[in-house]
Structure formats: structure tokens, C-alpha cells
Structure 1
């Protein structure tokens, strides 16, 4: 045998990946809860509602239908792709051909395939920060280079075209746009979307737009980049799915659409890595889309009530600086004033957190409240709270924080 000592057991690309911080925190909270600890979990990024009965009933019927027991087209059931095209026209006013749609195993696969479709070695992707944890990892997996552009609470967590200009280089290939945004709840208005779209058009930049939270917007209108700048259609890939809108995170149905040549290659890629999405899940998604936005509207009303409540309560936490979210179901307070300060503990001791990661660990230990540190989102000094939990847990969790930090030196 030849000398193989230099060969690594794990590839450099996979070895460099970080696990999903949001899923890790949620798993720890669930483990503590299973052990009998009264943990309040603000970490999970999913609606706390069951999938509606009409969707699960459609899935049950689909499971008994022999048509769904075999392979189907890798890019998705034709009738589901047609429904996605119809839904896109209804909700955004953007007309797409069903042949330009790929049904994916959740929104995450759509995000990864979007980057894989257009990014070559060394290409740069401008990534507004705070960002969802998966974006930079997916870019690196495609041998691209994420270029974070930070916008804090004083900007409403929204980047300006001046900041984009400063990040632009000859290697810039794409811009990632997520509105409403995870983790901040920021929403770009139509004028802001239009300015960014025109900037991308002028500079020949691709746009990957993540629209997964489109139906959870409060007090402002939702906007779509292809509606505002339709000339970008040849350089835009949109990703979406049923996970948030229909409380179907576990069903794993997302989609992407874009220019025909790119979609064709992305479909070829999918044919090799996953083949088709589960047919039962696709039939469930077809039933969901047939409901229009009724399910989302019911959830939106509940989320809006919780959004108002958590904003009010977190503003009552000593050391928290809170920007009101306008979309999704997250709030992203600045906790930098608490870092490095003495924090009296319930047991009489005093502890200090030097980072928001340490602060999140302290909160879980001392108050049994699970939140995700800003480091996971490219934003040290912040914490993400999801308000997709019951009204009772939301109030109890916020009250625990108020008690914990009441005597902190800030």
C-alpha cells in the first residue's frame, strides 16, 4: 500500500462547517425539558402550530395512492410546479413558467442549490448581516466567499446601497437578499427593494432572494424584487417553501425558480443528489397551496399579537436595546451593554459574560431560557428570540429575563 498518512479522514470543506447553532440550542433546550427542567425555548425557528388537518388528510390519502409509491420527476410533480407558479403570480405579481421551478427538500436545499448553480471557485457573495446561519456555510460549500455587510439596529438591520458599493469587487457574483429577515425581523420596503435591485442591475450582480417569510409582515407592505425590478429576471433566483406559511417545517418541501438555463442545470444536480422530494410531502404541499393564504393569515394575527408583547417586555429588560421587528417571528435585541458587567445570580453569586455566546449560556443556566447568540448570525453582541411559542411561555420567559438582569450593572 502507498503512503496515505497525508490523506485526511474528513474533507476540508465538511471539516470547516459549523453545526446549525439554532438547531443545537433548540436540541439542548428540548433535552433539558425532557429531563424535567422548565425550560422556555425562544430558539426554534418554526411556528408552534400543528399542520392544518386538511393538509395531513391530503397526505394520508396520498400515501395510499400507488402513483406516489414510485419515482417521479426529479424537479417536482408537474401539478405542484404549476401550483407554485400560480401562487407566485397571486402573491407577488411575478409571472413564471412552471418549467423554471424546482421542488426541493425544504428551503435549505433550495438555498444550497441556488448558490451551487451560479457560484464558481472564489466568487464572492455579498451577505447582509445579521444573516441566517446557513447562508455562509452554503456559500463556502460551493467554494464561494461570503462577504458580510453589517447593518445594526440603528439602521433597522437593513443594508444601504452605499454599503453594497463598498463591498463590491471584481469577484462579486451575487447578493443574498432576505426580507422579511431571519434573525432580525427586518423588512425592506418597496422603495428600498427597488434601490437594491437597481444597484444589482447596474453592476451585473445576481440576486438570490429568500422569500420564506413573505406572509409574516406587520404594519407595512411586503415587497418582491422581481416585482420592483422585473429587468432582473435573467439574474435572479428566488427560494421559498411551505415550511413557515403552513406550519410544515418537518414536511421538507421548498422550491426555487429562476432563469431557464440555470434551473435546468440545478435540476440536473438535484437528479444526482436526491432525485424527487417525497411524493406524499409534495401532495401535502399541493393541498396547502390550494388554501391560498388563509392559514398564514390566521397565524399572522397571532404572531403580530406576540410581536407587540415581546417587544414591550424585552424593552423592560435591563441592558437590552430593542428594535421593533416588522416581519417573520424573530426579535433581535442588542445586549452589548451587559457584556463584561457583573450580573447577580439567583443563588447569590455574581457572574460575567464576555460575549453574547457566554451570555446565552448564562441565561440558560440561570433562568432556564433558551435563546440563540448573535455570533451564529455574524452579529456578536446580540441575541435572537423567536416568538413562535405560546403566549404563556413568551410572558414567563420575558419575566424571567427581567428578574435575572434587574440588578445587573449596566
Structure 2
């Protein structure tokens, strides 16, 4: 039956983060004690008022199809959020589509703008699924490797070096998974001017927009006049509201691009779940104190983990500016590569982490630790990892 499998899937890899999550579950089911610091699933419960809204929708029988664009009141809430956060005005009737997850929002955005043979610039290290989604759309991902030595700074010079006549789009993520960086104004200005000069679409994944520290502030490329009419902005509810299992996100952008996004949505998943969208309305319009509490906890986790990891001989570790990840450099510890280090840590420390190589060029020599677990889990996992690494000769 091999000849019946689509040839394009030959170059598609499994999601490294999902594969590691499966590995952690398998080890636990076999009786092995492991601590999973590989996943990006907040340990917090979804806020009660969000659950209540979805439960109320179920109780009233609100379980049928909605518009493929999403519930009008949820689109209006998203428009309010965009206006308040980024001073960007999007028409909720025509310029916002609610999706089943931010991940799907990225996918429909890429499908809407890419043709076979197009190229997409992706600053790396970057989330594991961007490149694979580009390939599924029949296009070619082109990595723009960033350097740990200068803090993974993005510049126009780096983008120009990878530009070809086939370049169609740029995928951005800030705050950034896996490095924890928040893009600065000069970097976003470079992106805005570069994309305008070369008539490129910008797909901006802003799923971690609420999780920033130390006075850093998230900015969207859509805030820049050169980018407003060429940016598709993606975000969602999983990280800020601990709604990973709900699968709810959205994409916004100029009407012409959003018409194409809507076509992909209509002919794939159709729409996000009706009662789930009611929960999304409650999340955006209700009490925001649970979000602040989660961010405060993540701040504590990154401070504690950063201090502990920097005490390990040979490890270099930047303090994350956002997200709930930390990305230590383990290249001086003697492992052949980051995958070998990750495998060794499972066996020797009982800790599951993600190898930096999973995030593309620029990621090798690092491992990613997720700090989204409970405080007890984060401290136990980082302590066990630090102990075994400190014992290396």
C-alpha cells in the first residue's frame, strides 16, 4: 500500500514535541518515574468562569453549527483585544475568523497564501510545526538561522540573505518558542520595511503575547503601517487561559487575505465548536486575574530554573523575556548533539526535554525545558537534570 501514500508526506516529520509527550506517557504507563518538561501544556485549571460559560452553552443545547467565521460576539471580543493591545482595527464581520486552535490558524493562513514552489522565510530556532505546515502547503520552508551569541536577534540583513524571487511570506513568532525572546522595535521595523519592499505576507504567531516579563512588552508587526495590510495575526486561548484541550484560536488580517483564509476554513474543519466559542467569549471579556496569576507563577519558575541551570558547570543560559520555556546551551557538555543529550537525560535523570535540533538551524547545542508544569514538578525536574549534568566529568 506504500504507493497509495501521498509523496509529499515523505518529507514531513512527526511533531517532535508531540512525539516526546507520547514517549513520556509511555514511560509512565510502563511504571517508570519520569518528569515531563517537554510539553507546552499549562498545569493550571481553565478559569472557572470560562468553564461555566461553556457548561451553560451545553445545558441550553448550544451544540450545533455556527458560522465558519465564528460567533459574532467572540469576533467582536477579538477585535476589541486587537484594538486595545496593538491599536490595530479589524472589522469583526470580515477580518477575523475563529479557528479550532491557534495551530490551525497558522495552517489555514499558510494554505491561504502559498502556492506550490513558493518559499517562506522562518527565523530559527522556531516552533517545530511551521516548516512542516509549509511543506504540507506544497511550498518550501527557508530557515533564517539566528545566533545564540547575539541573543537570537533578527535583522534585515539576515532576511535579505535568504530572499529569492520565490519568497512569498515570513513566519514570525514573538514571544518566541523555544528561545523566550521578545522581538524589539528595531527588529519589527526591519520586518515591516523588508516585507513591504518585497511585497511579502507576514504571518505573525502571537500565542504567547500575554506571557512577558521584566517590563518587556509584546508588539505585533501589524502595528506598523507597512505591515497592517499584509499581516495575518494568529493567537488563541491555550497558553494564556490554560485552554489547551479546548482547541480555540483565531486569525485576523486584511479583508482580501481573510476571504482566502475563510475558504480554507470552510472546506477543512468548517468552524470551531459552538459551546467552546462561548467559553472563549467569557475568557476575553471576563475576569483577567487568572491570567495574571499564571504569568506570575511562570515568572517564579523561570527565575528559579535560570538560577539553578547557571550553576551547572558548562551550561550557558539566557533569562527568557517571555513564554514559559527556557533554552539552555549544553554544547560544552560533551554530547554529540542535543538529541543525544535529551535521550541521556531520560535515562539518567528521568527528565523529558526537547532537543534544540527539533527547532531547526540555530537550535542545535541547546535543549528546551518547559516551565508550564506545577512548581513542584518544575523544581524537581530542573534539580534532577542539574544534578546529573553537574556530575559529568
TM superposition score category, shorter chain reference: over 0.9
Confirm whether residue 373 of structure 1 aligns to residue 368 of structure 2.
Answer: no
Select the residue among 77, 92, 95 that pairs with 2:86.
92
Select the residue among 357, 360, 363 that pairs with 2:342.
360
In structure 2, distance between residues paired with 1:16 and 1:124:
16
Partner of 1:47: 42
Q: Secondary structure at the match of 1:125?
A: strand
- Between stretches 154-163 and 357-366, larger displacement belongs to 154-163
In structure 2, distance between residues paired with 1:15 and 1:9:
12
Q: Is the 8 A contact 2:88 2:222 kept in 1?
A: yes
Partner of 1:226: 222
Segments of 5+ residues of structure 1 without an aligned counterpart are 342-352
Q: Is the 8 A contact 2:192 2:226 kept in 1?
A: no
Q: Secondary structure at the match of 1:47?
A: coil
What TM-score does the superposition give when structure 2 sets the normalisation length?
0.95
In structure 2, distance between residues paired with 1:292 and 1:257:
24
Deviations 1:50-71 (A, max 9, x none): 10111111111101223x2322
Q: Secondary structure at the match of 1:357?
A: helix
In structure 2, do the counterparts of structure 1 residues 207 and 214 end up closer, same or farther at CA, with 3 Å as the change threshold? same
Select the residue among 358, 369, 383 that pairs with 1:385.
369
Q: Secondary structure at the match of 2:14?
A: coil
Partner of 2:245: 250
In structure 1, distance between residues paired with 2:91 and 2:150:
37
RMSD over equivalenced CA pairs, Å: 1.5
In structure 2, distance between residues paired with 1:308 and 1:196:
31
Q: Secondary structure at the match of 1:388?
A: coil
How far off is 1:138 after superposition?
0.4
Deviations 1:329-354 (A, max 9, x none): 1111111112xx3xxxxxxxxxxx42
In structure 2, do the counterparts of structure 1 residues 292 and 86 end up closer, same or farther at CA, with 3 Å as the change threshold? farther
- Between stretches 26-35 and 201-210, larger displacement belongs to 26-35
Q: Secondary structure at the match of 1:217?
A: coil
In structure 1, distance between residues paired with 2:389 and 2:238:
35
Q: Secondary structure at the match of 1:159?
A: coil
Partner of 1:396: 380
Q: Is the 8 A contact 2:339 2:357 kept in 1?
A: yes
Partner of 1:320: 315
What TM-score does the superposition give when structure 1 sets the normalisation length?
0.91
In structure 1, distance between residues paired with 2:125 and 2:241:
25
Residues paired across the two proteins, number: 389
Segments of 5+ residues of structure 2 without an aligned counterpart are none
Q: Is the 8 A contact 1:153 1:323 kept in 2?
A: no
Could you say which structure has the larger radius of gyration? Answer: 1
Q: Is the 8 A contact 2:221 2:228 kept in 1?
A: no
Select the residue among 55, 60, 63 that pairs with 1:65.
60
In structure 1, distance between residues paired with 2:386 and 2:209:
32
Q: Is the 8 A contact 1:319 1:405 kept in 2?
A: no
Partner of 2:279: 284
Q: Secondary structure at the match of 2:144?
A: strand
Confirm whether residue 177 of structure 1 aligns to residue 161 of structure 2.
Answer: no
